[in-house]
Structure 1
Amino acid sequence: MTVTRTDIEAAAARIAGHVRRTPVIESGAGSFGLDRSLSLKLELLQHSGSFKARGAFNTLLSQTVPAAGVAAASGGNHGAAVAHAARALGHAADIFVPETSSPTKIARIRASGAHLHVGGARYADAAEACARHRAATGAMDIHAYDAPATIAGQGTVALEWQEQVPDLDTVLIAVGGGGLVSGCAVWLHEAVKVIAVEPEGACALHAALSSGRPVDVPVESLAADSLGAKRCGDLVYELAAPRVAQSLVVSDEAIRDAQTRLWADVRIAAEPGGAAALAALTSGVYRPARDERVGVLVCGGNVALETIETR
């Protein structure tokens, strides 16, 4: 079981017309307190507010969906994406989220018309409830990150970005379970350096790369509702380990500061997970070379404006 560039090309063709070709902007030198312009890929403008719509559509369009529809456990963004894709394609959807999911994300799922189940204090509780539902009904599972169709769908972000900005040297991508970064690394790694960025309090891929295998990690972060996987996937690890050039961790304070800078400088309202990749630059955790052409993926925007600190 693997994912190839051919799989990503096929996914891009399959989901065309169902997802947005999200824009790229140049931040301009001096933005965010940096001495360079960045290429910002605005995937937070994707349907349902994050990149996850790509994997959801690719899964639904490449498999036979049973009469019972689809089911997904989520911290919020994956559930919103599955709900959106299911409604667009005429399928029933049951979405399971923990009580810690943000009200913004819960409201987005409800608005999609999916059957929403809120319960449990952790993502693991939602995942267990979802598994029981699938066993009882025969509903199809759409995994948030560790499935070939999901990863190939997320990899279309990189295919699209490279078409839009072919001269990038490096891209920084936030990581939760790792479906996005592994898919992007499959597409980019031979030509572009892919850097994974995680919160210090939720760093499943970083721990796996340090240990030589996926391991459980504690999850306690500002960005936990989108980057809060307890363990990176086995397939994610297999794909990412040889292709991700560097794995970095950033503090919650750095993530919050990056959120503030995105709003102050370019009026982008990103959720914490969506600001994490930029935080590696603004905090100095990653220092590019003088002429390095750097891209930052802003991957999610399901956030209440009043939670963003302004200045």
Structure 2
Amino acid sequence: MDQLSYGDVKQAADRISGRVRPVTVAPVDPEAVRGLRPAAPGGYRLWLALEQLQHTGSFKARGAQNFLAAHRESGTLPDAGVTIASGGNAGLACAWAARQQGVRATVFLPATAPAVKVAKLRGYGADVRLVGNEYAEALAACEDFVRTTGALASHAYAHPLIAAGAGTLLEELRGRIPGLDTVVVAVGGGGLFAGAATAARHHGIRTVAVEPENCRALNAALEAGRPVDVSVDSIAADSLGARRASPLALAAAQQDGVTSLLVPDAEIVRARQTLWDDHRLAVEHAAATALAALTAGTATGTGGAGGGTSGYLPADGEKVAVVLCGANTDPSDLVPPRSES
């Protein structure tokens, strides 16, 4: 399956209803946020989608719940449970959803994984297996575990049930922001983007896909016309560092109403600091990547209106939602505001 349908997202929304936190939206005055690009003459309206408040601190809880619930419905949830190789947001979401569903979760990590991540996974009840010193070794062990036990293999982003679950966020945004014109999302492997863009297109809403300049898996796939491997080197690589975009993401990006933008790390850092300074929101660099599309720095784009070398500038009267996708970050590098005297 290389393309999602709106029906997949709608089914996911029904399936996970009551199992995830509904997204909170916060209206923001663009004129009051330092660093945002100059507004159109008549101004535009901006909301922040606070998905960093989701269970486990990221949108990935949605896809993990949908993945397990769908397998339970179809009778394909094995006694060996679910397994994944991930110490990041996907692993946390998988472990949390498994506990919610009463399913065994086995998570593979390299032995070099930070102790805090291991502790958090175990706190969700996961059986954590530390293997090797690199992610590739942990992944190989996870794949062997699937072959020998029959456990259900989950994925961080490249599965239709995962992407459809992520897309439920857009369904909720549409209900909370009547007349929404545009949603801005950060892209790694493309699970959130694929789901959100699929639902957005059904409702006539534009999607702006934002990646760091040096983590451009989706942008490169659009240029090549197929998923390709890219190098990864960005401050947001811990969440957006996929080396290849999923076929689902590429198919969604090739549809009408999608703009692909690249932003430099300096803009990501500035946007993250702005969210802290102006709104006291401590988010991942991945979440700040979405807002960076609207800030004053340079950006390069591929796709529909708003692309080019100037970032995304909303039109007069446009209603825009920027998704803050995760909060699993160390806030110690956020600069305290200067005291007023």
**TM-score range, shorter-chain basis?**
over 0.9
- Secondary structure, counterpart of 1:287 in structure 2: coil
After alignment, is 169-178 or 105-114 more displaced?
105-114
Mapping for residues 112-261 of structure 1, pairs under 5 Å:
112-119=124-131, 123-190=135-202, 191-243=204-256, 245-261=258-274
SS in 2 for 1:303: coil
Change (3 A) 1:133 1:160: same
Corresponding position: 1:286 with 2:312: yes
Partners of 2:34 and 2:109 lie apart in 1 by 34
Give the % identical residues. Answer: 46
- Aligned counterparts of 1:275 and 1:99: Cα–Cα separation in 2: 29
1:82-105 per-position Cα deviation (integer Å, ceiling 9, x unaligned): 000001111111122456766654
1:244 Cα deviation after fit = 5.5
Deviation of 1:271 (Å): 0.7
Match of 1:47 in 2: 55
For each residue in 1:10-62, what CA deviation from the matched residue of structure 2 results, as whole angstroms up to 9, or x when unmatched?
11111011101020001223124435552111111110100001110001001
Counterparts in 2 of 1:60-139, with a 5 A limit?
60-63=68-71, 64-98=76-110, 105-119=117-131, 123-139=135-151
Deviations 1:199-251 (A, max 9, x none): 11211101000111000001121111111111011232223322452111111
Deviations 1:168-207 (A, max 9, x none): 2211100011011111111112511101001112111010
Unaligned runs of 5+ in 1: none
Which SS does the other structure have where 2:321 is aligned? strand
CA contact under 8 A between 2:87 and 2:118: conserved in structure 1?
no
- Structure whose CA Rg is larger: 2
Aligned-partner Cα distance in 2 for 1:226–1:40:
19
Structure 1 pair 104–180 and aligned structure 2 pair: CA distance change class (3 A) = farther
CA distance in 2, matches of 1:103, 1:243: 44
SS at match of 1:95: strand
**How does the TM-score come out when normalised to structure 1?**
0.93
Letter in 2 for 1:184: A
The 8 Å contact of residues 186 and 289 in structure 2, kept in 1 or not, is answered as yes
What is the distance in 1 between the residues matched to 2:268 and 2:78?
A: 40
Contact 2:85/2:91, CA 8 A, preserved across alignment: yes
Alpha-carbon distance in 1 for matches of 2:109, 2:59: 18
Question: Structure 1 residues 123 and 38, CA, compared in 2 at 3 Å: closer, same or farther?
Answer: farther
Match of 1:17 in 2: 18
Residue 121 (structure 1) shift: 5.7
Q: Residue 215 of structure 1 contacts residue 232 of structure 1 at CA under 8 Å; is this kept in 2?
A: yes
Matching residue's letter, 1:61: A
Q: TM-score, normalised by structure 2?
A: 0.85
Question: Would the alpha carbon gap of residues 248 and 11 (structure 1) be closer, same or farther in structure 2, given more than 3 Å must change?
Answer: same
Corresponding residue for residue 288 of structure 2:
275
Cα 1:100–1:5 shift into 2, 3 Å: farther
Conserved 8 A contact 1:171-1:195: yes
What is the match of residue 5 of structure 1?
6
Number of positions where the alignment pairs a residue of Structure 1 with one of Structure 2: 311
- How far apart are residue 255 of structure 1 and its match? 1.0
Q: Report the residue type matching 1:65 in the other structure.
A: L
Give the SS at the match of 1:282: coil
By how many angstroms is 1:267 displaced?
Answer: 0.9
Q: Give 1:8 deviation, angstroms.
A: 1.1
